[in-house]
Structure 1
Amino acid sequence: MPLDHATQTPASDTPAADTLTDEARRQIEICNACRYCEGYCSVFPAITRQRAFADGDITQLANLCHNCRGCYYACQYTEPHEFAINLPKALAEARAESWERFAWPGFLAGPFHRSGVAIAVALIVGLAALFWAAQALKPDGGEGFYAILSHTMMITIFTPAFLLPLLAIFVGLRAYWKEVGGEPVSLAHLKAAFVDAAKLKNLSGGAAEGCNFEKGDRFTNVRRWHHQAVMYGFLLCFASTGSATLMHYLFDMPAPYGLFSLPKLLGIPGGLLLTLGGLGMAVLKTRGEKDLGAPALWGGEMAFVLLLSFTGGSGLALYAATGTAAVPVLLPLHLGAVLTFFLLTPYSKMVHGFFRLAALVRDAQQKS
């Protein structure tokens, strides 16, 4: 069992929130005195703008961190030095604690982080079984997938499953914004944040050659590229669904859609990027050092990455199987994966994208 550096007594495996915040504050204050890593990412310039760090400042810095780990490998004060600096881990644990604290309803936050694979698999299988059973209510008309499950049934299920998680995320972001001292947002702040997010600048490690996520002496942009593949893949899939919705309701053009239709031109490359990027991130997670993140949450993070990949891959498999006997089997699996993804978004690592964007907006405010 690890020791608490202040008391030299055994530390709990699940330290309290105030302990995590205090440990992150201790390390940040040492980093602020050293300032060797100023150019690594947005965290270190943000640190140097302050002398004292309130709890809200720690929350902001934790969510601004992208866990590229370059600072750890460059630091002269890591163990066995008595300062025992491990800033990536300290911020990762404080960050995960903030997601649980801001989650709404709060009791749903912890279980996925600690038992993510089991929960994701159980939900996918359970929901797929329900969709499979619902095929007994086969509609009288409809083409393609709508000949198996009616459009009305899909809309009735997925509309609240999409909107309620968004409400939960909004409640959490509102609490976050209040804690970090957020101000009214201008277009300039939003633009700066979205540009940083689009480029994933903070995964570059402060240099064009990338960061050290996999190995301390190896600079690489591979993690950045996989993150970009997942991010843009997800956005393309979302745009595909949005374009199909508009075509259905505004232009009276219901599915199925051909290969060269807008939903397919967006959805197929989006699914490929989501699947391959997610698998790449999963491989990288097996190579990275667990103790430079939040070790207790490693399983939940891996479950989230694999869920992303399965959602994209099952969608591609379903499209490839169009018109075959495999569709009634693959359709419930894909819908179960999508519904699981939606329902778990506020409580899985997917929520990090929303909080990190908010942190970038707040950082843009503090720079101005």
Structure 2
Amino acid sequence: MHADLLQEARRQSEICNACRYCESYCAVFPAIHRERAFADADLTQLANLCHNCRNCYYACQYTAPHEFALNLPKILAELRQESWDDFAWPRGFARLFQRSGTAIALAAVVGLALMIWAARAIGPAGGEGFYAVLSHNAMVAIFAPAFLLPLASLGVSLRRYWRHVGGRPLTRADILAAFGSAARMRNLAGGHGDGCNFEDEDRFSQARRIAHQLVMYGFLLCFAATSVATVMHYAFAMPAPYPLLSLPKLFGITGGVMLAAGTGWMVALKLRADRALGDASAWGGEIGFVLLLGLVAVSGLALYALGQTAAMPGLLALHLGAVLAFFLLTPFTKMAHGFYRLAALLREAQSRR
């Protein structure tokens, strides 16, 4: 990580430590106030613990034009991006995709092209529904590595982060505290539960918190739909297609609607928010990732609606191409932030013991 970035984060954290006005705002400030001095690892942990709600900036009396010129959300956002670049495995990909919406769009196009090629070259295996376009075995051969390899990459990256910040073996209490905080998005609720100032400095809002919850729980429901369908296929010999009132369809449709609504809402909030309070260089990559995730949701819902029409093969290629790009890019896009934030919450739970 750049020494000047770390030094500026250290300077601002030391001033915040002396002031303590924002102590109740989020988990960052109690973590700051536990320290007398800030090592590089401490600053990395603070950066990944920060949810960029911006309440502290709008409440601070030491922002510009004051000579201290504090902008803690911005410096922590920049340091957070640097940490993801440094811990990513293999290195190099993270910097490309974290900061470039164009690169993400190109990856989605490549994923779509691969799906079209696979549908034509491999073809069906006499199945019904989607399998009339691309066989089940071909889908497994394509998507199993696309799912497992990014997981392995994330595992290496998170291990590097955990060792850097001095993480210890986890207890049940650590896990419950961290997952509970993540499930409620507690650090996006503001110090008094009124919400944050992310999109409007003069108004507290729960909008960003709710949008994140829609995305998180929508994604989990979509993942549950795929998982349940896999169990039904292999354990109970019940291959797709499934009826509307089956668990895969109920989970998938509900999750898709939540995911589409959440990603659309997040883009709208980001367009209204002040880019000077985040890492401006990563803005395009963040928008590109959210739009890619939204494309996964919308194309999946379109498949549910038009799966029995002539549009199905093209929609299937579009959806699977978006899903393929999403999985392969997960360790190198904003999707990784969820894993790092959870790791930071686990480390914070340990520090509070």
Report if aligned partners of 2:125, 2:131 keep a CA contact under 8 Å in 1. Answer: no
Report if aligned partners of 1:113, 1:297 keep a CA contact under 8 Å in 2. Answer: yes
Match of 1:66 in 2: 51
- The Cα shift of 1:126 comes to 2.2
Tell me the number of residue pairs that the alignment of Structure 1 and Structure 2 aligns. Answer: 352
Q: What is the CA RMSD across the aligned residues, in angstroms?
A: 0.9
- The Cα shift of 1:130 comes to 2.4
2:113 is the counterpart of 1:129: yes
Candidates 267, 271, 289, aligned match of 1:286: 271
2:151 is the counterpart of 1:187: no
- The Cα shift of 1:114 comes to 2.4
Distance 1:316 1:207 in 2: 37
Match of 1:5 in 2: none
Report if aligned partners of 1:112, 1:348 keep a CA contact under 8 Å in 2. Answer: yes
Candidates 319, 326, 340, aligned match of 2:304: 319
2:123 is the counterpart of 1:138: yes
Match of 2:200 in 1: 215
Which ranges of 4 or more aligned residues in structure 1 deviate by more than 3 Å? none
What pairs with 1:266-285 in structure 2 (closer than 5 Å)?
A: 266-285=251-270
What pairs with 1:109-120 in structure 2 (closer than 5 Å)?
A: 109-115=94-100, 117-120=101-104
Match of 1:362 in 2: 347
The normalised TM-score by structure 2 is 0.98
2:203 is the counterpart of 1:229: no
Structure 1 counterpart SS, 2:343: helix
Candidates 250, 253, 266, aligned match of 2:238: 253
One-letter code aligned to 1:125? V
Report if aligned partners of 2:263, 2:290 keep a CA contact under 8 Å in 1. Answer: yes
The normalised TM-score by structure 1 is 0.94
1:227-277 deviation digits (Å, cap 9, x = unpaired): 000000000000110000000011111101110001011110100011110
1:279-333 deviation digits (Å, cap 9, x = unpaired): 1000000010001000011000111111111110110001111110001110010
Q: Where does structure 1 lack aligned partners over 5 or more consecutive residues? A: 1-15
Distance 1:71 1:222 in 2: 18
Match of 1:21 in 2: 6
Match of 1:7 in 2: none
Determine what percentage of the aligned residue pairs are the same residue.
62
Match of 2:187 in 1: 202
Match of 1:10 in 2: none
Match of 1:347 in 2: 332
Report if aligned partners of 1:123, 1:336 keep a CA contact under 8 Å in 2. Answer: no
Distance 2:166 2:230 in 1: 38
Distance 1:33 1:133 in 2: 60
Structure 1 counterpart SS, 2:331: coil
Distance 2:133 2:339 in 1: 35
Match of 1:13 in 2: none
